[in-house]
Structure 1
Amino acid sequence: MVIGILIALQVNNWNQLRNDKKFEITMLQEIKSSLESDLDYLEMINRRVKDKEEGIQELLKMTASNQKYSDSILLEVYNKMNTGVSFNINKGGYEAIKSVGIDKISNDSLRKMLIQTYEVGFIMVEKIMGNIFEDIDIKDYKLQLHNALWKRIRIQLSDKTFKLVSRPINNENFLSQTELVDRIKIEQDFVSAFSFWISHFQRTVEYCLDAVNQELNNE
């Protein structure tokens, strides 16, 4: 009878360990999915930042030339420089496993790395990115500069409907206006700071993803 009880306990323990391992694998797969989603998102951001950089360079080249440009060309390049960029981190997989106990991850090194990455590294990057947006993306000042460069006019389309479009207030001197130089400088500073920290964050995500994949491959 005692032997039977011991065998039953051993079987229960084995079943519990197996269930714990299955749960751990499921959670690691969730974290893997979140990290892969972050990398896809970062690729999209990098493309938008590249558009901003190209717009900045095109405008700077135009300011250095004596060539005259049409309103539509000026607006197209200006809008390219003004491409919007945002920043978010997908913490879904980590938060899910954290809610049931991060100790479910049996690999001590991986567990510590995930805690360090999500609780310290990612939070630091989020704060820095927030400061970049707050310090450089000054909406009121940017709007003031924008309004000094552009006017809105109403045009009638071929279908008899109307549309508001932007036109330079001063096409002749548009490229030499100090307001344009200030707008370019704001976007240039933004791209420089943003690109540096995006690259840092991307390396962190890739390192973390490699560690998670290695653990899953060892199972």
Structure 2
Amino acid sequence: MIKLFRNIRKNLLTEGKTTKYFKYAIGEIILVVIGILIALQINTWNNNNEERNLEVKIMKEMRSNLKLDLYEIQEDIGIMDDINKACDYVSTYLKTNELPSDSLYYYAALLRVTPHFDPNKSGYGLLVSKGIGIITNDSLRNDISVHYERLYNYYKRYEEERLRFHATHSEPILLKHFNMKYQEKYKYYANFKISNEDYLILKNDDSFIKLTDAIKFENSGVRNRAKRVETNTLALIEALNNELNNN
């Protein structure tokens, strides 16, 4: 093609057709410019298409992560419900029963349980590495950022506060009164034992009743934050579904 253009220009100059040569040269320049613009447009379209495909891939991975997170946080909420139930049960049992029983052993063991939520962040990690701006929906992009950077981090702080309380207050007192046994048949693989003599001491220890109330208080605070995580996770999954369905 270039050789053809060169021959045409050469012939025009040889024949002395200067005016036609300049017109032709200008036309050739215009064609080259148009070709460059078309190439740039195609390149831009290809880049946009690649970015859009990457955006869809990231959103799908985040949605998959969030579904796992939802299952885990709901499981933790169920565990925390069991812990609160155990606090009430142990407190009432100590006030109304003269001797320990298997049910006391089971529920007392629940007082030491501290569920831990570990969110799945592979999709969000990929998003951060590629630039969060790749999410074209402004509202969705903000929701994702708030969910991972604020909601999850804030929930982790609640869990850490409960762990500090447990290590400082709950664990020492529970181990002081009970013997901890591993029991595979129980839901949380633990069972506490206490002798009749030690039970009478525990029964008359008002500070232990206060401890069960404090455990419930700490646990309820974490549970309330977990419910917020659950609600927001459901909403973010729905937002991702809507965005993916629009593609």
Instruction: Tell me if TM exceeds 0.5.
Output: yes
Alignment-derived partner of residue 158 in structure 1: none
How far residue 193 of structure 1 moved from its aligned partner, in angstroms, is 0.8
For 1:1-219, list aligned pairs within 5 A: 1-2=31-32, 3-70=34-101, 72-134=102-164, 136-137=165-166, 139-150=167-178, 166-168=193-195, 170-219=198-247
> For 1:70-96, what per-residue CA distance to the aligned partner results, in whole angstroms no more than 9, with x for missing partners?
3x3332221133333113332221121
How far residue 140 of structure 1 moved from its aligned partner, in angstroms, is 4.1
Larger radius of gyration between Structure 1 and Structure 2: 2
CA distance in 1, matches of 2:211, 2:81: 17
Alignment-derived partner of residue 4 in structure 2: none
Cα distance 1:152–1:130, how it changes in 2: closer, same or farther (>3 A)?
closer
**Structure 1 runs not aligned, ≥5 long:** 154-164
Alignment-derived partner of residue 12 in structure 2: none
Whether the 8 Å contact between 1:152 and 1:167 is mirrored in structure 2 is no
CA distance in 2, matches of 1:110, 1:30: 15
Whether the 8 Å contact between 1:52 and 1:81 is mirrored in structure 2 is yes
CA distance in 2, matches of 1:216, 1:101: 19
How far residue 31 of structure 1 moved from its aligned partner, in angstroms, is 1.3
Aligned-residue CA RMSD (Å): 2.5
The SS at the match of 1:11 is helix
TM-score by length of 2: 0.72
CA distance in 1, matches of 2:48, 2:180: 68
Residue correspondences, number = 205
CA distance in 1, matches of 2:179, 2:163: 26
The SS at the match of 1:18 is helix
Whether the 8 Å contact between 1:149 and 1:179 is mirrored in structure 2 is no
| Equivalent residue letter for 2:135 | I
How far residue 24 of structure 1 moved from its aligned partner, in angstroms, is 0.5
The SS at the match of 1:172 is helix
Cα distance 1:4–1:148, how it changes in 2: closer, same or farther (>3 A)?
closer
Whether the 8 Å contact between 1:45 and 1:86 is mirrored in structure 2 is yes
Cα distance 1:88–1:107, how it changes in 2: closer, same or farther (>3 A)?
same
TM-score by length of 1: 0.81
